[in-house]
Structure 1
Amino acid sequence: MLTDNFSQLFAKNSKDHELANNLWLEIFTKYSDSKRHYHTIDHLEAMISDLKNVKDKVNDWDTLLLAVFFHDIIYKAVSSTNEEDSAKIAKQRLTEAGYPIEKTEKCTRMILATKLHNLSEDNDTNFLIDVDLAILGKNEEEYRKYTEQIREEYNVYPDFIYNSGRKKVIQHLLRMEKIYKTEYFFEKYEKTARTNLVNELQELEN
């Protein structure tokens, strides 16, 4: 499904099929890296599935989709610049593909916004950061699977280091007035997300 989504998206903006195939191969390879357990192709599919429910509220659907595909193209547990590095790759690849400059710039800004998940003046960006955090509001079983996958991605760190960092992430999210910035995702996930985060925080502190 994702292959078709990407092919159709790219075909609207470029006739270079070889470039499209190479780009998709790069994206698929990065998200299929053996060190990834959560930030995988499945994560992209889940994001796009959720976003389809708000497609009529999105101003620039194509650019939002491209931001989804590229937002975690670089993901290393030991790096603090994943978002910046992913945005850089997106800008390079979309420029090579001849994607409009202003849309390319928007895409890179959207990707950078997934670093802190703060409220944006651009509603499409808010949809991206909300759907990136949608897993927080899923049921208990899905949330636990997510936490286990994240822990596996950070398995280079011993528990005392990982737990300290994870607690900071959770506390940052819980301090937000709203985890989800758009009405749709707030209504759908906010309450459950806060319950999941509080429960995880309690486990980490015990």
Structure 2
Amino acid sequence: MAILLDPPRWPAHGTDFGHLVSDASLDELHAFAQAAGIPCRAFDHDHYDVPVARYPDLIDAGAIQVSSGELLRRLVDAGLRVRPRDRTPKRPAALASAQESWRGLLPQAPELGEELLQRWSEPHRRYHDVRHLAQCLAALQQLAIEEPIGRPVLLAAWFHDAVYNGEPHDDEEASAALADERLRPLVGAAEAAEAARLVRATIAHDPEPDDRDAALLVDADLSILGQLRGRYHVYLRDVREEYSRYDDQQFQRGRLTVVQGLLSRRPLFATATGRRLWGAAAELNLTEERDRLLGREPPTAPGSDPRNRDATVRLS
């Protein structure tokens, strides 16, 4: 087990950057980075981006400099590599994807689409931003392979966090009211009311067994839980930044309540497709997070981890 650095060859912000990784676990990597004073925002799925000026003190702290090829090989062998296609989309890419989606959904209302994207791009958002919208829309596309998706579900996805101030329940209620108000003149009262109802289903994330449309939306909203370990850790980083008004103890206490609540749900995903796509990985991610919050050592067994089922493939 080692902390590794590769040569600083990537220019940005007037200097050169390299990659800091662990060949054992993300927990080891985060602990080393925190002790070295590397900011959380420097974490990128399977590594931290570090400037060349930090190399001497990182090496003094125990990091080992290796070639880029060896660093990548050891990252892949550890089951921690996250390929570009599996990463959280960058905000510009997420924005472009969402714009294209809106043009196919309500092409007669481009102004509403732009208003919603402005809301999803508000500067105080760190997780519940346009990337989360893009994630939900992409998840619905995955679910649509086996579960046809109606327009009210897609509209609800666009509105479900359109109002976001970090106030559970109040945010969803305000988003539902906004959906009903904005959509009524465009799609009629019945479809607007249905979209608003579906938005409210994301308050508890516990749809009735026969509420198929709510199940699809809720599963898409929760799909982030079933991503690769590194992408899940980016989600955790962003959620922590979004709740920066709380100190670490307050946040950990609240987060533990959320995680334990999610783990107690059987099943976590309401659709059979959602369970197949994300169920096993979500169980592992949430269990590991709960163990960290409780101060336990999470198990590491990349070979049996469904999040990394193809991690042994050499990646460029």
2:154, 2:189 → 1: CA distance?
16
Within a 5 Å distance, the mapping from 1:8-27 to structure 2 comes to 8-11=104-107, 15=108, 20-27=109-116
Bigger radius of gyration among the two: 2
Percent of paired sites with the same residue? 29
Q: 1:139 aligns with which of 228, 232, 246?
A: 228
Uncovered stretches (5+) of structure 1, i.e. residues with no partner: none
| Structure ranking higher in helix proportion | 1
Uncovered stretches (5+) of structure 2, i.e. residues with no partner: 1-96, 296-316
| Structure ranking higher in strand proportion | 2
2:129, 2:218 → 1: CA distance?
17
Contact 1:38 1:150 in 2 (8 A): yes
Contact 1:91 1:105 in 2 (8 A): yes
User: Given the alignment of the two structures, is residue 169 of structure 1 paired with residue 265 of structure 2, yes or no?
Assistant: no
Describe the SS at the equivalent of 2:128.
coil
Other-structure match for 1:68: 157
Other-structure match for 1:6: 102
Other-structure match for 2:178: 89
Q: Deviations over 1:55-100 (max 9, x none)?
A: 2554552111101110000111245411111101000000132x12
Amino acid at match of 1:82: D
Contact 2:180 2:193 in 1 (8 A): yes
1:119, 1:78 → 2: CA distance?
21
Contact 1:59 1:124 in 2 (8 A): no
Other-structure match for 2:138: 49
Q: Deviations over 1:144-190 (max 9, x none)?
A: 00001001000011111111111111111111111101000101111
Contact 2:169 2:203 in 1 (8 A): no
Aligned residues: 198
TM norm structure 1:
0.90
Contact 2:184 2:191 in 1 (8 A): no
Describe the SS at the equivalent of 2:204.
coil
CA RMSD of aligned residues (A): 1.6
